[in-house]
Structure 1
Amino acid sequence: MCLGVPMTVLDDGPFTALCGRGGERRAVSMLLVGAQAPGTRVLVHVDTAVRVLDAEEADAIERALEGLAAAMDGAAFDHLFADLVGREPQLPEHLRKPS
């Protein structure tokens, strides 16, 4: 399984940027999203930034990744999905039947 992970631009460049997540630092291609200012959050897949993220989306992805790690370790993870616990799943608007 391949996952994209949110990373923060630490040092920008025209084609690559130094990005970090936790204690990890790596050179990331910025060719798909263009040069980004330090502090910008990007979704990184195979050392390539594929999309610029806003803070809310980056945090949601981080919680999902934490939840996945917790589930794999047999630890509690409901607190990471508080917005989903206790409610029925909802289809995105574009998949719903017109009323």
Structure 2
Amino acid sequence: MCVGLPMTVLSSDNGSALCERRGEQRRVSTLLIGEVAVGDRVLVFIDNAMRLLDAEEARLIDDALDGLAAAMQGRDFEHLFADLIDREPQLPEFLRNQVVTPQG
């Protein structure tokens, strides 16, 4: 399974950026999203910045990844999914208005 990681831009130049996540730094391509600024948060997948993230979304992704690791290690993880506790599942916004017709 491949997972995108939130990273913070430390520096940027022509089509790439030096990014950091939890002490690890790596150079990533920004060709898919264009120019980024120092301090921007980006979702990185296989050394490519896929899109910009706001601080809250980056935190939620980090919490989810930490929650998965905790669950796999048998540790408490529910607090890392606080945004999902006591909430009914919801379709993404782009699917809510689509009409589904039964096949028959």
Residue 26 (structure 2) aligns with: 26
Offset at 1:60? 0.9
Residue 75 (structure 1) aligns with: 75
CA distance in 1, matches of 2:93, 2:71: 29
Matched, 1:57 2:67: no
CA distance in 2, matches of 1:23, 1:34: 24
CA distance in 2, matches of 1:48, 1:97: 32
Q: Is the 8 A contact 1:14 1:34 kept in 2?
A: no
| Deviations 1:16-39 (CA, angstroms, capped at 9, x unpaired) | 110000010001001011121110
| Runs of 4+ more than 2 Å apart | 90-98
Q: Is the 8 A contact 1:66 1:80 kept in 2?
A: yes
Unaligned runs of at least 5 residues, structure 2: 99-104
Instruction: Output the aligned Cα RMSD.
Output: 1.6
Query: Greater Rg, structure 1 or structure 2?
Result: 2
Letter in 2 for 1:92: P
Identity across the alignment (%): 62
CA distance in 2, matches of 1:36, 1:96: 32
